[in-house]
Amino acid sequence: MSSPFRNQRILAALVTVSMGTATAAAGAQPAAAGATAPWLTVSDGFAAFSVPAEAIQNTMGNVSSVVVEGNFGPSFNLSELGLVRSGGSSAWTSIIGPLPAGLYYYRLRGDDTKIVKDSTNPASVSSEPTWSTFLVPGDSARHLADVPPGKGGKVETITYAGGTATVWTPPGYDAGRQRPYPVLYLLPGAGGGHADWAELGRAGQILDNLSVRRRIEPMVVVMSDEEDVTRSRLPRAIDEQYNVAGDPRHQAIAGASDGGVRAVRTALARSSAFAYAGSFGAVFPDEDLRLNATVVNASLKLLRLYTGNMTDPAYNPTQRMLRRLGKANIGHEFDGANPDAGHNWTAWQENLVDFAPRLFRTVSDHRPSPGHVVPRHEFRPPAPGATPTPWLTREANGDTFVTAETGPEFAGAKHVTLWGNWAPGGSWVNVPLTRSGDRWRVTVGPLKPWFYYYKFIVDLTSQKDTGNPASITTEPTWSSFLVRGEESRLLADVPAGKGGRVNRLTYQSTVVGEERSAYVWTPPRYDPARRKPYPVLYLQHGSGQSYTDWLEMGRAKQILDNHFQDGSLVPMVVVMGNGNVPDFRRELLENIVPAARAGYNISADPRQQALAGLSMGGFQTLDVLKNHPGEFAHIGAFSAGIGFSPTPDPTGYDPEAINNGTKLLRIYTGNQTDFTYPITLGSMAALDRVGVKYEFAGVTPGPHGWDTWQKNLIDFAPRLFRS
């Protein structure tokens, strides 16, 4: 039960159970009796999608792949969350989370080309009719929340000769005020519309919150998609309909992406029109600045540039623009690079929060926003074709970004993504790649220190990164890499010669009638002749895996080596056997255990024996506990239960025999994205009913995957064989 795709097929049947307390997505109302149930429910930051198969059939036709495309990836960049449907399941489903606080936008995509809006979510985006939105509340997104009724300003749409605009007026706006209001023009990116700043940028909520906190001057904000505001009829229309100042000292212009380019160009070329200008993630072209610095600096009170991190296509152009401005002696400020966001509305929302309070007032603090970094270099990944991949780039602040690239064999592909465990909690999303000559390339990050695995999805087909020598026996298309840091220290190799040894143990299986293999880890300074035999842990894998996975994916050797070096591990032998058999109890007791005892100096004393496993291996472990209580005094179940049901029957579990013969029974589960989460909770309730004693390790942040199980082994191994 290891592969996310296998797991999510089972997840389809459990979404209702695990998300039973979920509420409707922000912006949507709960379905009334007889109404269509929402496709998305959100609770505590977990987003659960359940799209009726009939709806997919009616809107997309026959498709083999359905994903939710949204800003779920690292840095809030667009990524694809795979939905699964198994057998006769009536819905395509998946869960992701917990998502960081913020505004999310999403749509459904079938077989890479068929795009559908969530028809059950009324929240929409005017310029992109297939997008829907929802808000995950939280302190970091407090500026995006609605203010109390009656406390905010007013957002309205106006029409004028030549176009339409969205206008925000501040709380208490007075059309007859003696002192006219200053005005800020906000521009969207290429292809966007005037409503984008309200619907995706949450500009109304941001300005309301800043106003309530008295952090901005009362102003009128005009959101427009005019190519050149100064040469349009918009300023005259605003002057006629609103009480706004017309002098440049009370005029500001800013924009996101392409809108930022237009805003800065306009401000520099017509510095007599605007005293304030801002670019939010502007991808500036490389062009000379033929400007009179004296004139520009005399008129322009503030020119402030913003960019996201290295995943932002504006990152390098902004670096070059800063150098050109410096060379031209044009006064400017730089907010630094936002390490947590890329080229997206999350970054631009934060940019507006920083920019608006600097307008039409004296500001003493000209530093970058807290947490932003001020890089002095451009981001240059290796040249195409460089090997091995992927390439890890570590910034001075410790952030690590990874760049992956396909080979030229996929030059003719139409849609290429990079699937990996970099979504919140270690969940899996596909990050789109962009064509670079005859290759496809993407940069992902920042990634926290941990162990990552990935593969390319090329036109719906899984492909290995052939430039990465790392291989996974049971998942031939997967590759892996480690991001180093304190959080991943226990997953890193110890210095050469300091770790234990791994050997292959072969044995004859009487259950399947063939020779089989296991891996055995022995601790440093293992002594096969030691008078006191070593305690032993039998560590089992999940479905679709084999004895190789705890080493290749679980980093078991590194975890055990590091714990031993830290002095937190009792010297033991760890046997990783092959559990792919119809009768695991017989395989373990008749084949694996005898072979291990014959080959290694290990104890047969039940008190010195431990058994643990993940998913299928965890179910097998608990089945051994049921049928052979006391045979193994230390038991660990990772993402498993006593039966494959949220309400299992504990019949057959002998509480007296288990409690008397078991020193440690420790149960682990991932969070709501782990499909066995309700099974584990139900199993613990069943054990409570019959009086079996156990320890619950608490919810491990993560899905039904290796992020969770590595953490489980890190916690479990040091607890074994302690007096």
| 38 phi, psi to nearest 5 deg | -65, 145
- Give the integer Cα–Cα distance in Å for 606 and 593: 12
* Overall CATH class of domain 142-358: alpha beta
- Give the integer Cα–Cα distance in Å for 102 and 135: 6
DSSP per residue over 495-555, as a string? Answer: PTTSS-EEEEEEEEETTTTEEEEEEEEE-TT--TT-SSPBPEEEEE--TT--TTHHHHTT-
Provide, rounded to the nearest whole percent, the portion of the chain with pLDDT above 70.
95
- Condensed to tens digits (0 to 9), the pLDDT of residues 155-213 reads 999 999 989 999 999 999 999 999 999 999 999 998 999 999 999 999 999 999 999 99
AA letter at 151: K
For the chain, the average pLDDT equals 93
Q: What is the pLDDT of residue 23?
A: 32
Taking residues 81-88, what's their average pLDDT?
Answer: 88
Whether the Cβ atoms of residue 528 and residue 601 lie closer than 8 Å to each other: yes
- Give the integer Cα–Cα distance in Å for 611 and 712: 14
Angle among Cα 89, 91, 94 to the nearest 5 degrees reads 110
Banded model confidence at residue 554, pLDDT cuts 50, 70, 90: very high
Taking residues 350-376, what's their average pLDDT?
Answer: 95
pLDDT at 22 over 70: no
* SS3 state of residue 135: strand
Whether the Cβ atoms of residue 201 and residue 345 lie closer than 8 Å to each other: yes
- Give the integer Cα–Cα distance in Å for 305 and 280: 7
Banded model confidence at residue 288, pLDDT cuts 50, 70, 90: confident
pLDDT at 11 over 50: no
38-47, 392-401, 578-587: range with lowest mean pLDDT: 392-401
Instruction: Tell me which CATH code domain 4-137 carries.
Output: 2.60.40.10
Q: What is the pLDDT of residue 397?
A: 83
Q: Where are the domains of the chain?
A: 4-137, 142-358, 391-484, 490-719
Of residues 533 and 32, the one with the higher pLDDT is: 533
State the DSSP H helix or E strand holding residue 47, giving kind and residue range, or none if neither: strand 46-52
Would the CATH topology of 4-137 be identical to that of 391-484? yes
Banded model confidence at residue 263, pLDDT cuts 50, 70, 90: very high
Whether the Cβ atoms of residue 390 and residue 420 lie closer than 8 Å to each other: no
- Give the integer Cα–Cα distance in Å for 253 and 185: 5
Q: What is the 3-state secondary structure (H, E, C) of 650-719?
A: CCCCCHHHHHHHCCEEEEEECCCCCCCHHHHHHHHHHHHHHCCCCEEEEECCCCCCHHHHHHHHHHHHHH
Banded model confidence at residue 82, pLDDT cuts 50, 70, 90: very high
Dihedral over alpha carbons 283, 284, 286, 290 (to 10 degrees): 180
Q: What is the pLDDT of residue 400?
A: 96
Dihedral over alpha carbons 684, 689, 695, 698 (to 10 degrees): 40
- Tell me yes or no: is domain 490-719 CATH 3.40.50.1820: yes
Whether the Cβ atoms of residue 603 and residue 534 lie closer than 8 Å to each other: yes
From residue 363, give the alpha-carbon distance in Å to each of 179, 230, 354, 373. Answer: 21, 27, 12, 21
Taking residues 325-329, what's their average pLDDT?
Answer: 96
> From the CB of residue 226, how many other CB atoms can be counted at a distance below 10 Å?
20
Q: What is the pLDDT of residue 723?
A: 76
Estimate to the nearest angstrom the gap between the alpha carbon of 212 and the chain centroid.
Answer: 32
Residue with token string 């005892």: 597
Sign of CA dihedral 486, 490, 491, 493: positive
Give domain 391-484's CATH number out of 2.40.50.140, 3.20.20.70, 1.10.3720.10, 2.60.40.10.
Answer: 2.60.40.10
Banded model confidence at residue 351, pLDDT cuts 50, 70, 90: very high
pLDDT at 564 over 90: yes
Whether the Cβ atoms of residue 540 and residue 635 lie closer than 8 Å to each other: no
pLDDT at 482 over 90: yes
DSSP 235: H
- Give the integer Cα–Cα distance in Å for 94 and 87: 15
- Give the integer Cα–Cα distance in Å for 386 and 293: 43
Q: What is the pLDDT of residue 7?
A: 41
Taking residues 300-311, what's their average pLDDT?
Answer: 97
> From the CB of residue 58, how many other CB atoms can be counted at a distance below 10 Å?
10
Banded model confidence at residue 509, pLDDT cuts 50, 70, 90: very high
- Give the integer Cα–Cα distance in Å for 544 and 310: 37
Q: Which of 402, 541, 558 is nearest to 479 (CA)?
A: 402
pLDDT at 25 over 80: no
Angle among Cα 71, 75, 80 to the nearest 5 degrees reads 35
From residue 721, give the alpha-carbon distance in Å to each of 68, 401, 449, 567, 568. Answer: 46, 40, 30, 14, 11
